[in-house]
Amino acid sequence: MTQTSREIHLVQRPVGVPTSDTFRLVETEVPEPGDGEILVRNRWMSVDPAMRGRMDDRPSYIEPFAVGAALEGGAVGEVVASRSDRHAVGDLVLHGLGWRDLALLPGKRAAKVDATLAPEQAFLGILGMPGLTAYAGLIRLAKIKPGDVVFVSAAAGAVGSAVGQMARQLGAARVIGSAGGPRKVAHAIDAFGFDEVIDYQAGRIRKQLKQAAPDGIDVYFDNVGGEHLEVAIGALRNFGRIVICGMISQYNATEPPAGPRNLVRLIQTRGTIQGLLVLDHGDLRDQFIGEVGSWIRDGSLAYEETVVAGLENAPQAFLDLLAGKNTGKMLVRLGD
Ligand SMILES: NC(=O)c1ccc[n+]([C@@H]2O[C@H](COP(=O)([O-])OP(=O)(O)OC[C@H]3O[C@@H](n4cnc5c(N)ncnc54)[C@H](OP(=O)(O)O)[C@@H]3O)[C@@H](O)[C@H]2O)c1
């Protein structure tokens, strides 16, 4: 017996900004689970900037998406058939086969979701991969200390809004963000408690950061790269730390970036720059869920989601994410 499912395929590798022609909604038949497998009806799926990198055919920490095959990404769903002793029918699980209604996968590649801790979709956002990215980046790479002045880009997004608030919880004296447009700037201050947020679309980042942090910054958490990164290197105080988490300003670029041109500043400041990959920090998960879960429960950490309904609208959700139309975590809700 098979079941009919729908999935989103990559039709062609985009050059520059993806378009609706990059994707296709395809009907497919999914077989019953084999030995050790589970069948999951997805309820939520994550939409992530990193998917843009996997659409290109170049070596990375993870295989590129195949043309003509379904995309992948984080998902939460309900087990509807099981031949695995790890999961029973009715269990809620987190796994990596989003972008489809029904996911067939080995039971060992799915983790149970404890929806008593938070709404189930939070495990794709604040209590999931983006939240852990923020937490691990601050603790392990930025080695955040009480009194630090912290700057983070994409401050109204999933990772950035978490970084700002976690930095505060971990003792930062001043938390400065950057976001695109006056609405997002105001929202990041009101909803996520940033001391100041600069609008990178409204004027030179250097001048605005100088006003927001006249004595410089100790930590820069980079989500966008490009001009932001160069400005942050220039603003770094002695022994400052830069965490390279993402470079969304370059994901659609067809030419390599021109800079940063001021790396010599790292000699003067004895500053460090380190790349972050969340996959390296799974061992922090229990500590992360415990600490961040308690901040959410006591109201000291807010999180948001931008929710798009329907698998058929997932490609547009991805295009909207790259265009900055989300605040907080971009999610697609599947089913009814
Ligand atoms: N290293 C890792 O392990 C890891 C894990 C998760 C995420 N990441 C990275 O972290 C970053 C944030 O991811 P997220 O999931 O939290 O996404 P997000 O911040 O929720 O959404 C992306 C945001 O990027 C901003 N943006 C788009 N184009 C931009 C540009 N040219 N310049 C400046 N900002 C731009 C937009 O906000 P504005 O409207 O403010 O421009 C948009 O809302 C991404 O770079 C992602 O690849 C890395």
Q: Find the 48 Cα to ligand 1 centroid distance in Å.
A: 8
What is the rounded CA–CA span in Å between residue 159 and residue 297? Answer: 19
Mutation pick for ligand 1 pocket among 209, 223, 247 (CB with most ligand atoms within 8 Å):
223
Q: Whose CA is nearest to atom 8 of ligand 1?
A: 246
Please state the atom number of ligand 1 nearest to the C-alpha of residue 328.
20
* Among 141, 158, 136, CA closest to 304: 158
What is the rounded CA–CA span in Å between residue 290 and residue 194? Answer: 23
- Using CA of residue 295, residue 120, residue 162, residue 299, what is the dihedral sign? negative
What is the rounded CA–CA span in Å between residue 209 and residue 90? Answer: 50
State whether residue 307 is helix, strand or coil.
Answer: strand
Q: In the structure encoding, which two tokens stand for residue 34, read together?
A: 């084999």
What is the rounded CA–CA span in Å between residue 320 and residue 322? Answer: 5
Q: Find the 82 Cα to ligand 1 centroid distance in Å.
A: 36
Mutation pick for ligand 1 pocket among 248, 284, 331 (CB with most ligand atoms within 8 Å):
248
Q: What is the pLDDT along the chain (336 residues), one digit of tens a residue?
A: 899 999 999 999 999 999 999 999 999 999 999 999 999 999 999 999 999 999 999 999 999 999 999 999 999 999 999 999 999 999 999 999 999 999 999 999 999 999 998 999 999 999 999 999 999 999 999 999 999 999 999 999 999 999 999 999 999 999 999 999 999 999 999 999 999 999 999 999 999 999 999 999 999 999 999 999 999 999 999 999 999 999 999 999 999 888 899 999 999 999 999 999 999 999 999 999 999 999 999 999 999 999 999 999 999 999 999 999 999 999 999 987
Please state the atom number of ligand 1 nearest to the C-alpha of residue 276.
1
Q: Whose CA is nearest to atom 6 of ligand 1?
A: 130
Vertex 256 angle, CA 252 and 258, to 5°: 120
Q: Find the 196 Cα to ligand 1 centroid distance in Å.
A: 19
Mutation pick for ligand 1 pocket among 159, 201, 247 (CB with most ligand atoms within 8 Å):
159
Q: Which strand (E) or helix (H) includes residue 297?
A: helix 285-297
Prior bond of 260 cis (ω within 30°): yes
- Phi, psi at residue 6, to the nearest 5°? -125, 150
* Among 284, 285, 331, 308, CA closest to 113: 285
Bridge partners of 212, per DSSP, are: none
Half-sphere exposure of 77 (CA within 13 A, CB side): 32
Q: Find the 154 Cα to ligand 1 centroid distance in Å.
A: 5
Q: Find the 2 Cα to ligand 1 centroid distance in Å.
A: 38
What is the rounded CA–CA span in Å between residue 91 and residue 81? Answer: 10
Q: Whose CA is nearest to atom 29 of ligand 1?
A: 249
Q: Which long-range contacts (CB under 8 A, 24 or more apart) does 178-185 make?
A: 178/151, 178/152, 178/153, 178/154, 178/205, 178/209, 178/224, 178/228, 179/154, 179/155, 180/324, 181/324, 184/155, 184/156, 184/324, 184/327
Pocket of ligand 1 (CB under 6 A): 48-50, 130, 133, 154, 156-160, 179-180, 184, 223-224, 245-246, 248-249, 276-278, 321-322, 324, 326, 330
Let me know: does 191 contact 302? Beta carbons within 8 Å: yes
Q: Find the 333 Cα to ligand 1 centroid distance in Å.
A: 20
DSSP symbols for 214-244 = TT-EEEEEESS-THHHHHHHHHEEEEEEEEE
State whether residue 30 is helix, strand or coil.
Answer: strand
Q: Find the 146 Cα to ligand 1 centroid distance in Å.
A: 26
